[in-house]
Amino acid sequence: MSTILDPNCLNSVVRSTYDKRAFFGFLPPHGVWLDPDEEYEFPGDLRVSLGDPGLRSATGGRLAKGLRTALEEGKLAIVRTPNPLLLDADSGETKMLTLDDDSLLISDPCWFSSEGDE
């Protein structure tokens, strides 16, 4: 049995809402220039990575502060982050919260197992 993953399900997407080209130094891997309304997709959850204690210690919290400032000043919008994964304690199954037509749903995760040769 093999596991197949939709790699996009573990990505974050942000959009520049600033009216001119701007550098966002907190975006991975080492900062990114974005034009107005340009979207940028990258692996992982931006909120989690900027909250990592090791990263916060190494940067003195500058990256998280930069994100907060860009959001508060209306220069950047978070379009998408990876959906939360939850473990059902009774069944032992992992499920994912998803949003569809304004309704929260419990779905299978963005990976699935398939029968086949390894």
Mean pLDDT for 37-54 is 80
> Do residues 15 and 71 share a domain?
yes
pLDDT of residue 118: 45
Output the pTM of the full model: 0.76
Domain containing residue 65: 7-80
- Do 108 and 69 share a domain, yes or no? no
25-40 per-position pLDDT tens digit: 989 888 999 999 999 9
Is 1 domain-assigned? no
Question: What is the pLDDT, as a whole number, of residue 107?
Answer: 87
Lowest mean pLDDT segment, chosen from 17-26, 53-62, 76-85: 53-62
Residue 69, φ and ψ in degrees, nearest 5: -65, -45
- Considering the domain architecture, whether residues 46 and 99 belong to the same structural domain is answered as no
Looking at the structure, do residues 17 and 67 belong to the same domain, yes or no? yes
Domain count of the fold of the chain: 2
Looking at the structure, do residues 43 and 19 belong to the same domain, yes or no? Answer: yes
- pLDDT on residue 64: 80
Q: Where are the beta strands (DSSP E) in the chain?
A: 2-5, 11-16, 22-24, 32-34, 39-43, 76-80, 85-87, 94-100, 103-107, 111-114
